[in-house]
Chain A
Amino acid sequence: MFNVGISQAGNVNVMTSNNGGLTNEQIADLAVDKIVSISDDAPAHIRQQANQFREHLKNVLYHYLLLARREERGTIIQALLSGGQKETAEYIRRL
């Protein structure tokens, strides 16, 4: 007798936005979902610790996402100002 294996299709997560791209919080959620997965079968105290780590990680990611977007906007604004596009640069600065 031999063992017959099983084949499975995993589950995807869908994230959507309206009138623009995903928010920093949504992107942080996507990143955390990739990094941390918590088994439903894990003991309660392990799940609790993992959830706390997950929240901490999300906050760190959120902070650096904000920073990355702000810094990129800064670089874009500087490039626009150098190209004489003062109005567009100001518009982006206010986003």
Chain B
Amino acid sequence: MAIAQAMCTAFKQELMLGTHNFATNGNAFKLALYAEGGGGKSSTTATLGAATTAYTTTGEIANSGSYTAGGGALTKVAPTTSGTTAFTDFADLSFTTATITAMGALIYNDTNSNKAVCVLDFTSNKTSTSGTFTVQFPTADASNAIIRIA
């Protein structure tokens, strides 16, 4: 599979090295959208998964509406814990007046060399035509949050 949902292996190591700071006043994180089947800009195809280490333009969708190369800035939900699980999350992100077909996304650290955090697989192509493309993040709790360490 060209885009496989995963928390990137390099990210797990970088957590131990203190590379990523999800605090409200910490690092800036972004979400970029990707296409399969040559749907990326310049007819490229994304290959993203656990082995992804950083943001790449290969397979990224073309600029459209409010979507520009590199994707959109994410609003962080401060890390917290519940029971024995630590988790963090982001606010929903929307691209407007955009014509987009995307199969997945990459969350990456815009502050620290675009280092990859996790890959999101939409499982099917999601398309907006001159419309809104919204990525809704899960509820910020120990069972659903986008990044959880149990």
A76 at the interface (CB under 8 A from B): no
B135 touches A5 (CB 8 A): no
B1 at the interface (CB under 8 A from A): no
A14 touches B6 (CB 8 A): no
Complex Cα distance, B43 from A72, in Å, reads 42
A17 touches B139 (CB 8 A): no
Considering the complex, give the chain A residue whose CB is closest to the CB of B149: A7
| Majority secondary structure of chain B interface residues (helix, strand, loop or mixed) | strand
- Bin chain B's interface residue count: 35 or more
Considering the complex, give the chain A residue whose CB is closest to the CB of B121: A11
Q: Which of A19-27, A49-57, A62-70, A82-90 lies at the binding interface? A: A19-27
B150 touches A8 (CB 8 A): yes
CB distance from A39 to the nearest CB of B (A): 8
A71 at the interface (CB under 8 A from B): no
Contact A5 B149, CB 8 Å, known A14-B122, A17-B128, A37-B144: yes
B136 touches A18 (CB 8 A): no
Collect the chain B residues with CB atoms within 8 Å of residue A14's CB. Answer: 102, 122, 126, 133-136
Interface 1/0 per residue, B79-110 and A, CB below 8 Å: 00000000001001000100010100100000
A44 at the interface (CB under 8 A from B): no
Contact A16 B146, CB 8 Å, known A9-B5, A33-B136: no
A22 touches B134 (CB 8 A): yes
Collect the chain B residues with CB atoms within 8 Å of residue A12's CB. Answer: 105, 120, 122, 135-138, 146
Please, could you name 5 A-B residue pairs with CB atoms under 8 Å apart, sorted by A?
A8-B7, A14-B122, A14-B126, A15-B132, A15-B136
